Structure formats: structure tokens, C-alpha cells
Amino acid sequence: MKRECVAATLVLFLLGSSPALAWDPFRERDEPPAPSREPDPAPFIAPPPGIYYVTDTYVADVVTSSGPLTTYSTATIHESTGSYARVLDIVGTGASSAFDGSAFNGRRTLGDGRSVAGTYYENYALTDGGFVPVSIVFFQDDAELARLLAARTPSPAIATPPSSGPWPTAARSIAPACCSTARPIAIPTSTPRPTRPIRPGISLLPVSAPISNIEVLRGRAVALWPRAFVDDREIPVLSWAVIAGETGDALATAGSGGVPFRTSWPRLAAPGAVYPVVFRIEVDTPETGHRTVDAPIAVIVRSPALQD
């Protein structure tokens, strides 16, 4: 009886044992070696406040002329050389700066001798010892209209008889009106055309309210509609043209009435600055006559809409 109990117990023990716990002498040969641990990356050095990583590199100063408008801008290429930069000074037209003469590309002057507007940047290189300044560059951003001399011919002066003394010979040869046999000739006088005040404006839609400034996303296409009003009534625009300011990637800088100005601004303005754009609007109606008026608008470019 005891033998049967021992045998039954042995059978149950063998059946309840798990083969997964058995040792396999060939298991270590099939398993891949454990991956080696990568070394910890070098600690990242955060730039000081105001210093940013450069993604648009300076190429050259650009001066372009379109009729009487001369534009001073800076050409860049979208690439990074591993450098950093910060804004040193933002200067207006004719204003002096403590950094004048320190930029490697200099600072141009307008036709009247004033220095162009723009921004001074300082470039940095990241070394083992930190951020080291390497150079200063000036990004010019200005425009001017040629100062054309007036081509009007002065009206001839009308001679008046002297208060005393003889009249000029030409005056004495004219017979008195009472004795002249010739009929007087009526000289027509030109009636001045009405010059009612014109209120220009720029709108986002053909029928929306005019605006004086606009915020756009960097690289986002936008359409601006030049318009004109007399009192509270809109009058047709004959043509328009951008005469000053930063036009961005404009499809055209002039057009006829009913056609908007289409562009996008791929670059941000300097910190705290805006892009001013000035439109010259031409109208010709019976109540206004043939005239032109200027409409400025301030463009504020926001980031980061541009898809690189």
C-alpha cells in the first residue's frame, strides 16, 4: 500500500512540473549580445538672453531703382553656418549709432547724404569656452523718392504802368476803348475743376473697412485692396502703385483699380519694428479731378507660420 502511494505521488510531481523552468544548455548560444550603452551627450549650452541661432545668412547689400523710387535692402540666403547673433541697435534714416563704422559691410547713405535706416547685428561663434563675438553686420532697410525739380514754366509777368512818368511804347500804341472800331474779344476763363478732399484707404476685402495696420503670418499670402472715398461714398480707383516700404514677395507693385496688391513677407522685421508700405492711389472723377493720394499701412509680421 505504501509503495502505491509513493508511486502515485511521484507521478503527480512529474506531471505538475513546468518544462519552462528547466535549464537549457543551448539558450545562451541563441540569445543576441546585449547592446552597448551610448555615452551621455555633452551638456547643451543655452545662449544668453537676446542671442538666437542664425537661419538666414547675410549675402550682400542690394540697391534697386524703379522710376523715382530707390530701395535699400539686404539679400540673405536661408541656411545656417552654425553661428548665433543678437540685435545691437535699430536706427532710423539719418540717425547716428554708436556702432557706425564697426560693421564689416559698412552703412550706405541716401542721395541727400543721410545714412540709411536699418539694424546692426553682432555675430557669435559657439566654442568650448562659450559664445564668442566674431563680427558686426548692418542690415539696411530704407527707401527714398528722387527729388525731381519742378518742370513747370513760370507764368509771364503782366506789366503794369508806372505810377508816374510816360507809358511804355507798346501801351501808348493801343487806341482808347472809346475810339476803337474793333469789337472786344471775350477771353474765356477756365473753370477750375472741383477739388473735394479724398480719403484713401487700404482694405483686406473689396468692401471691408479700411485699416491702418495689419498683422500677417510669416510667409502667408495676403491681398490688400487700395481704395478711395469722398465723404462717406467710395469712388473708383484708376490705378495704384507702391512707392515706398517693404513689399515682400510681391507679385506686382502696381496695378489698376479693382486689382489687389498680393504679396507675402517671408522675413520678420527687427524686434519692435514694422514694415511700412506706402501706396499711391490715382483717381479721376468729375467731382475730384485727376489726382493722386498716398495711403500708408503698417505691416506686422508674426512667426512661426513659414514652413521651412
Asked if residue 92 is part of any domain, the answer here is: yes
Q: Is the pTM of this model over 0.85?
A: no
Asked if residue 66 is part of any domain, the answer here is: yes
Over pLDDT 90: what percentage of the chain?
Answer: 35
CATH at residue 208: 2.60.40
Q: Which of 194-198, 206-210, 304-308 has the highest mean pLDDT?
A: 206-210
Asked if residue 188 is part of any domain, the answer here is: no
pLDDT higher than threshold 90 for residue 97: yes
Asked if residue 183 is part of any domain, the answer here is: no
Q: Which of 12-21, 38-47, 76-85, 136-145 has the highest mean pLDDT?
A: 136-145
Grid cell for residue 172: 501808348
- Domain range for 96 is 52-145
Asked if residue 36 is part of any domain, the answer here is: no
**145, 162, 187: which is the final residue of a domain?**
145
pLDDT higher than threshold 70 for residue 61: yes
Task: Indicate whether 222 and 291 sit together in one domain.
Answer: yes
**145, 174, 209: which is the final residue of a domain?**
145
Asked if residue 8 is part of any domain, the answer here is: no
| 223 C-beta neighbours (distance < 10 Å), count | 14
Task: Indicate whether 231 and 297 sit together in one domain.
Answer: yes
Task: Indicate whether 229 and 295 sit together in one domain.
Answer: yes
**3-state SS record for 233-290:** EEECCCEEEEEEECCCCCCCCEEECCCCEEECCCCCCCCCCCEEEEEEEEEEECCCEE
Task: Indicate whether 297 and 213 sit together in one domain.
Answer: yes
pLDDT score for 39: 59
Q: How many domains does the chain have?
A: 2
Task: Indicate whether 129 and 223 sit together in one domain.
Answer: no
Find out whether 261 and 242 touch, Cβ atoms under 8 Å. yes
pLDDT score for 271: 85
Residue showing cell 495696420: 213
Give pLDDT tens digits for 108-144: 998 888 999 999 999 999 888 888 999 999 999 998 8
